Amino acid sequence: MVFMPNIFLPRFLSESPDPHALEPDPPLRAAGPVGVLLVNLGTPDQPSAGAIKRYLGEFLSDSRVIELPQWLWQIILRGVILNLRPRKLAPRYKEIWLEQGSPLLVYSQAQGRALQEVLRGGGDNVRVEVGMRYGNPSISDALGRLRSQGCERIVVLPMYPQYAASTTATAVDAVAASAARMRNQPELRFIKRYNTDPTYIDALARKVRQFWADHGKPQRLLLSFHGLPRTTVEQGDPYHRDCMETVQALRQRLGDDADRVHVSFQSRFGAQRWLEPYTEPTLKEWAAQGITDVDVMCPGFLADCLETLEEIQMQCRDAFLASGGKQFRYIPCLNDDAFWAEGLAALVRRNISGWES
């Protein structure tokens, strides 16, 4: 084959996928199983500066995540951020790393297995795979595994209950980019959000109630969501509204305890204004006002990760206690909790209706 770099091709030739470059398709069975593709963000392969640099390089080059002109952003990213941040993050990742790997990946896969078990137990002919938007296992590998198991119909379930362009939309883009390389594409459905779905709200409420039954109630419960730059919301990203609807629904489910529930946004990155109030300053302010006992939960994360285990459970705890707080408790994510796996299965069943063989 003659090597022809794309830049030498006329524009109309370089835009549609080259049919000779399409992946060979696995044979699909007529009444094969339905596929469920769980998509999460992704995480480094190792808690080392090199692996973190590779992961952040891919993640932060996504123009859905950083909305700056690429020529300018790549100079800042390659020139500054990728030379400083990985070394700063490596010890933080090391602190939370599990024997089996990064918590985000370990808990996402455990959740996938728990969902598969519930669906199998219910007699559903469904196969579940987990793909990561950045790093491994990739979305295209996960799609490949579903197709090689004969799945011709696939529902994509982003592990983000609240929609954001920088998470959900980029996952959809990546699935579509993968499908662009297939000759015989599967039928695809995408779940956009489930921020007020009773299965999700019930699982959160149950987690809180169980935690309080075991440990007692705090003065306040802070629901901390990952933040976003304010400008993205001002330009129409529905993420903030999605988060507030989750808070409202959870307050309703907690009945008499609704007044204990507050909301904040964490994980600010860069110099811009992000969604407010910010989590750590809120906790410090509370301590200064004489609030001594708090619980923090992160309902936007389905799997525990750096942002929950290190930023909240370690950094925010230290900040709250150093400011005069007495008791800080972190309520873990839903992870592979059995009742959440049941909830996920109900969500999947609803979204594959008409596909059951």
Ligand X SMILES: C=CC1=C(C)c2cc3[nH]c(cc4nc(cc5[nH]c(cc1n2)c(C)c5CCC(=O)O)C(CCC(=O)O)=C4C)c(C)c3C=C
Binding site, residues?
226, 307
Please, which of residues 73-112 interact with ligand X by CB under 6 A? 85, 89, 102, 104
Decide whether 209 or 230 has the Cβ nearer to ligand X: 230
Instruction: Kindly state the greatest CA–CA separation across the chain.
Output: 73
Looking at this protein, which amino acid is placed at residue 285?
Answer: E
Q: Annotated binding residues for Fe(2+), as ranges?
A: 226, 307
Please, which of residues 37-76 interact with ligand X by CB under 6 A? 41, 43, 65-66
Phi, psi at 257, each rounded to 5°: -90, 5
* Spacing of C-alpha 269 from chain mean position: 17
Binding mask 133-162 for ligand X (x = CB under 6 A): ---------------------------x--
Q: Which of 220, 226, 251, 317 binds ligand X (CB under 6 A)?
A: 226
- DSSP tag of 23: B
Is position 339 an interface residue for ligand X (rule: CB under 6 A)? no
* Spacing of C-alpha 86 from chain mean position: 20
Is position 300 an interface residue for ligand X (rule: CB under 6 A)? yes
Asked if residue 299 lies in contact with residue 261, where contact means CB atoms within 8 angstroms, the answer is no
Asked if residue 159 lies in contact with residue 50, where contact means CB atoms within 8 angstroms, the answer is no
Decide whether 40 or 335 has the Cβ nearer to Fe ion: 40
Decide whether 152 or 237 has the Cβ nearer to ligand X: 237
Is position 311 an interface residue for Fe ion (rule: CB under 5 A)? yes
Which residues, listed in sequence order, are joined to residue 261 by a DSSP beta bridge? 221
Is position 310 an interface residue for Fe ion (rule: CB under 5 A)? no
What the block records as the tokens of 98 is 């599990």
Please, which of residues 246-275 interact with ligand X by CB under 6 A? 267, 269
Is position 224 an interface residue for Fe ion (rule: CB under 5 A)? no
Decide whether 164 or 174 has the Cβ nearer to ligand X: 164
Closest CA to 324 of 264, 280, 283, 355: 283
Binding residues for ligand X, rule CB under 6 A, total: 22
Phi, psi at 39, each rounded to 5°: -115, 125
40 Cβ neighbours under 8 A, 6+ residues apart: 104, 105, 108, 130, 132, 133, 158, 159, 302, 303
Q: Which residues bind Fe ion (CB under 5 A)?
A: 267, 307, 311
Q: Which residues bind ligand X (CB under 6 A)?
A: 41, 43, 65-66, 85, 89, 102, 104, 160, 164, 166-167, 226, 228, 239, 267, 269, 300-301, 305-307
